[in-house]
């Protein structure tokens, strides 16, 4: 039994380094990587759609980050790179699309929906108050309520 345990430990010592993943190399240039992260945070992953390009692990996101890195090394400014991405993939790729005719609904839409919801709520509450006030009891219903509550003298138990 002891021999089997030693053989197993020896096998693990030899094979485990083969299973270990190598560490990712550090960035070649910290300034380039800093700009890359700043630009990638402004862009939406086209595959994930709810994740930034910087945080996405999708293959397309890695390709786009590589493209951004190359453009930074070519000397392009952040605005030029963002304009390139917008021209190629549309305003949807940006988390904060520019304010223009096509994107006006994205900027104004939430406020319009909020105003419509507030007006609808106010209309509902006002209508409910008038319905409650308008439903007064008839004299027959009042008499029946009085009998049921025991306020009438003849319906009281002895």
What pLDDT sits at residue 75?
92
Rounded Cα distance, 130 and 122, in Å: 13
Rounded Cα distance, 94 and 96, in Å: 5
What pLDDT sits at residue 155?
47
Among 77, 48, 72, CA closest to 61 = 48
What pLDDT sits at residue 26?
46
What pLDDT sits at residue 25?
44
Q: Enumerate residue ranges in the chain where pLDDT < 50.
A: 20-26, 155, 158
What pLDDT sits at residue 15?
58
What pLDDT sits at residue 67?
93
What pLDDT sits at residue 136?
76
What pLDDT sits at residue 22?
45
What pLDDT sits at residue 50?
81
Torsion-angle region of 7 (φ positive above 0: left; ψ -120 to 50: alpha; else: beta): alpha
What pLDDT sits at residue 23?
40
Say what the pTM is: 0.53
């Amino acid at each position: 039994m002891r021999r089997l345990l030693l053989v197993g430990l020896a096998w693990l010592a030899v094979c485990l380094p083969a299973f270990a993943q190598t560490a990712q190399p550090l960035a070649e240039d910290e300034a380039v990587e800093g700009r890359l992260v700043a630009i990638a945070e402004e862009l939406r992953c086209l595959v994930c759609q709810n994740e930034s390009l910087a945080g996405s692990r999708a293959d397309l996101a890695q390709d786009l980050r590589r493209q951004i890195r190359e453009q930074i090394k070519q000397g392009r400014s952040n605005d030029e790179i963002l304009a390139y991405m917008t021209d190629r993939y549309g305003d949807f790729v940006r988390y904060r699309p520019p304010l223009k005719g096509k994107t006006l609904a994205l900027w104004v839409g939430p406020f319009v929906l909020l105003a419509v919801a507030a007006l609808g709520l106010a209309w509902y509450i006002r209508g409910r108050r008038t319905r409650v006030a308008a439903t007064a009891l008839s004299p027959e219903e009042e008499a029946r309520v009085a009998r049921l509550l025991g306020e009438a003298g003849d319906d009281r138990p002895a």
